[in-house]
Structure 1
Amino acid sequence: MWGDKDEKKKKETIFEEDHYTFLGKGVDFKGKANFDGTVRVDGHFEGEITTADTLIIGEHAVIKGSIIGGVIVSGGKVEGNIVASKKVQLLKPAVLIGDVQSPSFSMEEGVLFQGVCDMGISHLDDLEPSTTLENVHDLNAHRDHKLRSQEA
């Protein structure tokens, strides 16, 4: 029961196969970071974070800079723009000062959000993890131009 080797192997296999990065409380990081798999930040980060998977921003985290990811879940403080290919979820007591581009956006009561939210993006699924915010803005300008030319 408690010493079941098969159960132990399953747990070890799960951790070996999953990519999970953790920047704990007390960690200060500046620069560009590109991650594979799920990332959790509980420290201070200044720069650009990119992951094709999930970014979890803990309650004590402070991020200044741009974030690009698949799913962004935040309970911390972010000052910068967020681009997500799947969804952005802000949990109390999150603070977000910046713009959001994502097909899905949710926010709990008690969250402070100051910025613009664009949920009309359909091309983010095709973004490479190395895509920068400048590239996303270029894609948006191209999409807006295409829409205006179709209306004319």
Structure 2
Amino acid sequence: MWALKERNAQIETDNENITLFAKDVLFKGVMSFDGTVRVDGHVEGEIHTKGTLIVGESAVIKGSVTAAVLMNSGRINGTITATEKIQILKPGILVGDISTPLIAIEEGSHFHGMCDMGMHRLDEHVIPVAS
């Protein structure tokens, strides 16, 4: 339930610049955006946005993704880098390695891959354990 409220709030705050790729769109190549992008079609290649990437239930993405926020309800197979957070929402499937400081995986969704949450950045703050 919290994901739905957060999803609606995110869409409302970024509504000044939204790009939509509808169900019947097939795109191959590299995309770069500044704002919010919603994909409901098929993408093969790369997606880069400084804003939010919303992947709808009918979407299929094969390739690499870079975004501030990723909200996935579709199928993604690739390498993901999110500077703020990744949300995998039911019935979303994400197969591939991800890098993000924050992740939420909703019950009923699937993730298969490696997750880097920046532990290497935290090494300087870790207190050594005495042996």
TM-score, normalising length: structure 2: 0.79
Large movers: runs of 4+ above 2 Å: none
Contact 2:88–2:110 under 8 Å retained in 1: no
Q: Tell me the distance in 1 between the aligned counterparts of 2:35 and 2:52.
A: 7
Cα deviation code 1:7-48 (max 9, x no counterpart): xxxxxxx9xx81110000110000000012000000000000
Q: Tell me the distance in 2 between the aligned counterparts of 1:93 and 1:76.
A: 7
Q: 2:50 aligns to what? A: 52
DSSP-derived class of the 1:109 partner: coil
Cα deviation code 1:74-109 (max 9, x no counterpart): 000000011000000000000111011000001011
Q: 2:90 aligns to what? A: 92
Unaligned ranges ≥5, structure 2: 1-11, 125-131
DSSP-derived class of the 2:82 partner: strand
Cα shift at 1:110: 1.2
Q: Residue type matched to 2:77 in 1? A: E
Q: Residue type matched to 1:107 in 2? A: I
Matches for 1:72-151 after TM superposition, within 5 Å: 72-120=70-118
Give the structure with the higher percent strand: 2
Larger radius of gyration between Structure 1 and Structure 2: 1
Q: 2:35 aligns to what? A: 37
DSSP-derived class of the 1:110 partner: coil
DSSP-derived class of the 1:103 partner: coil
Give the structure with the higher percent helix: 1
Q: Tell me the distance in 1 between the aligned counterparts of 2:69 and 2:105.
A: 14
Does residue 64 (structure 1) correspond to residue 62 (structure 2)? The answer is yes
Aligned residues: 111
The one of 11, 18, 33 equivalent to 2:16 is 18
DSSP-derived class of the 2:32 partner: strand
Q: Tell me the distance in 1 between the aligned counterparts of 2:17 and 2:93.
A: 27
